[in-house]
Structure 1
C-alpha cells in the first residue's frame, strides 16, 4: 500500500502546486490593488507597501488552501480514472473506502493548519495592519493629486485642480458626516496642515453650501478653517481579547459607544462562524473527493469541473448565510448536514460499485 500511497501523493502534488500558484498569483494581484488603494492619500515607501501586503497574506492563504486541496484531489482522481489507472487498482482489490482513509490524514493536517491561521494568525495580522495604518495617519504625508476624482481625506471627498508652492488651487470639498449635515465647499485655494493626525484645512475666497431639510444655506467667506481627526484611536488587543469581544454582539445598543462595540462584536462573531466552517471544509468534504473524481471512463461522463464549482460555491454560500444570520446556532447543523450528506452520496454512487 505504500507504493499506492506514494503514487497517488505524487500525482496529487503535480496538480496541487500549479493550481495553488495560480490562485496565489490572482489573489496577490487583488491584495496589491487593495493595498495600493491605501496609498491614494497616504504616502509610504516600497518596504512599507510590502509590509501591508504581508499582513494580508494569512487571510488569502486561509481561503486559498482548502479550495486548492479539494480541487487538486478531485482532479487527481479524475485523471487517474480517465487514464484507467484507478480502475486497474480497483480490479486488484483496492476499495473506494481506501481513498477516504488516504485523504483523511492530509485533510486533518490541513484543517489543523487552517485553525491556526484563523484563530491566531489572521486576528494578529489584522490588528498589526490596523495599527500600522493608524501610526501612518498620525504622521500622514498628504498625497492629493491634481485633477483626480474620489480622493478621500477623513470624511471629506476632495478635488483639487492644481498644486503649487505648497498650496492647492481651485479646491472642492464635500462631506455627508459633518455637524451641519451635508457640506459642499468651493474655494480658490487651500492649505493643509497635519498636527499629529489633526488636520487643519484652511480654504480662502470661496463659498460653503450647507444642506438642511428642504433648503440649502450658502455662506461666502474670505477664509475658512476646518479641522478633522483622521486617527482611529486604535488599540492593539491580545488575540484572546479579540475573540472575547464577540460577546459584545448581544449588548444593548443604548449609547453610541455600545452601538460601536455591538457592531464590532457582531463582525467578530461572523468571523468566528466562517473560520470554523471553512477550516473544517477539507475534513467534511472527504467523501466528495472520490464521489466527483472516481469514474469508469467507459460508462461515465466526466462532469468533474462542474461538480467542483457547484459544490465549492454551494458550501461557501451556506457559510455566508450561516455566518450572517445564524452565527452560533447554524454551525453544528451545517457540519452535520454537509458531512452526512456527503457520505450518503458517496455510499450511494461510489461505494456500491468500487
Structure 2
C-alpha cells in the first residue's frame, strides 16, 4: 500500500510541477513589469528590483498554487484512469477512497502551506514592500528624466533639458505658493544634495522671478538651494497579531482574512470534488478534465470573491462544511459506489 501511495504521489508531483512552474513564471513576469513601473516615480537599481520581487513571491505562490493543485489533481487521476492503472488497483481489492487518501494528505499539506503563506508571510512581505517604497520617496531618490514634463521635486515642478552624470543642465523650476503668487527659476546647472533626512537641489548661475497680482520681481543668483519641503511619510511595522486584530473593527481586513482562509483550504476541499469526475472508467466515461478544472476553479473562486465582498465567519464555516459534504456525496455516488 505504501508503494501505491508513493506511485500516485510521484505522478502527482510531476504533473503539479509541469503546471505550477509555467504559471509561476508568467505571473512573476507580470509582477516584474509592475515593479519596473515604479522607476517612473523612484530610482531603483537591478538589485533593488530583485529585492522587491522577492517580497512578491509569497503573493505569487498563494495565487498560483491552488489552481495548479486542482489542475494537477484532475490530470493525474484522469491519466491513471485512462491508463487502466486505477482499474487494476480496484481489481486488486483496493477501494477508491483508500487510493485517494494519499492525495487527500497532500491536499491537507498544501492547505497548511497556503495558510502559513497568507496569514504569516504575506502581511510581512507587503509591509516590507511598502516600507521600501516609503524609504525611497523619503530619500528623494527621484528619477528626473531629461526632457520629460510634469516631474516634481517636493512641491516644485521641474524640467531638465539634459543630464551629465550627477549634474543637471538647463533647469526650469515652477512653484505656485498660492492663488496669486507664483515663482519661476531657471538655471544653467544643478545637482541633488542629500544630507541625512534633508534633500535639496543646488542651482548654479541663473535667474529667479516672483509674480503676484501687483508686481513682478526678478533676481539673479550665483547659487540657489531649494529644499524638498514635501511632508515625508513614516511607516510603522505591525506584528502579525496586531495586523490581523484590526479585522475586529475593520470590515475590509476581515473580508480579506476570510478570502485568505477559504483560498488556503481549496486544495483539501477540492480533492473529493475533483476526484468525483476524474476517477473514471475509460470504457464508459469520457475525459472531461479541462471542464472539471475550469468549473471547479470558477466555483471555488466565486465563493472566495463573495466572501471577500460580504462574507462573515459563519458564512465561511457554512461554505466549508457544505463543500465537504457535497464532495463526499458526489464521490460516493459517482465513484466509491462502484469501486
TM-score normalized by structure 2?
0.79
Distance 1:343 1:136, change over 3 A: same
Distance 1:39 1:196, change over 3 A: farther
> Could you tell me which of 277, 280, 292 is aligned with 1:292?
277
- Residue 47 of structure 1 corresponds to 47
Distance 1:291 1:245, change over 3 A: same
Distance 1:334 1:44, change over 3 A: same
The residue correspondences of 1:326-337 to structure 2 (distance < 5 A) are 326-337=311-322
> Could you tell me which of 328, 331, 335 is aligned with 1:343?
328
Q: Distance in 2 between matches of 1:152 and 1:93?
A: 74
- Residue 260 of structure 2 corresponds to 275
Deviations 1:106-138 (A, max 9, x none): 122221222211111111111111122222222
Q: Distance in 2 between matches of 1:92 and 1:127?
A: 54
- Assess if the C-alpha contact under 8 Å between 2:256 and 2:308 holds in 1: yes
Q: Distance in 2 between matches of 1:150 and 1:340?
A: 59
SS in 2 for 1:166: strand
- Assess if the C-alpha contact under 8 Å between 1:111 and 1:283 holds in 2: yes
- Residue 223 of structure 2 corresponds to none
- Residue 222 of structure 2 corresponds to none
Distance 1:42 1:2, change over 3 A: same
Q: Distance in 2 between matches of 1:285 and 1:279?
A: 11
TM-score normalized by structure 1?
0.76
- Shift of the alpha carbon at 1:25? 0.7
SS in 1 for 2:161: strand
Deviations 1:296-352 (A, max 9, x none): 212111111111012112211210111111243421122122222222222222222
Larger Rg: 2
Distance 1:230 1:166, change over 3 A: farther
Q: Distance in 2 between matches of 1:312 and 1:151?
A: 44
SS in 2 for 1:271: helix
Tell me whether 1:162 sits opposite 2:161 in the alignment: yes
- Residue 109 of structure 2 corresponds to 109
Tell me whether 1:353 sits opposite 2:338 in the alignment: yes
- Assess if the C-alpha contact under 8 Å between 1:171 and 1:187 holds in 2: yes
The residue correspondences of 1:169-188 to structure 2 (distance < 5 A) are none
The residue correspondences of 1:115-130 to structure 2 (distance < 5 A) are 115-130=115-130
The residue correspondences of 1:2-21 to structure 2 (distance < 5 A) are 2-21=2-21
Distance 1:353 1:344, change over 3 A: same
- Shift of the alpha carbon at 1:226? 10
> Could you tell me which of 300, 303, 306 is aligned with 1:315?
300
- Shift of the alpha carbon at 1:276? 0.7
Aligned residues: 320
- Shift of the alpha carbon at 1:145? 2.6
- Assess if the C-alpha contact under 8 Å between 1:12 and 1:72 holds in 2: yes
Tell me whether 1:233 sits opposite 2:218 in the alignment: no
Q: Distance in 1 between matches of 2:107 and 2:58?
A: 19
Deviations 1:181-221 (A, max 9, x none): xxxx997969888787788899x99999xxxxxxxxxxx99
- Residue 287 of structure 2 corresponds to 302
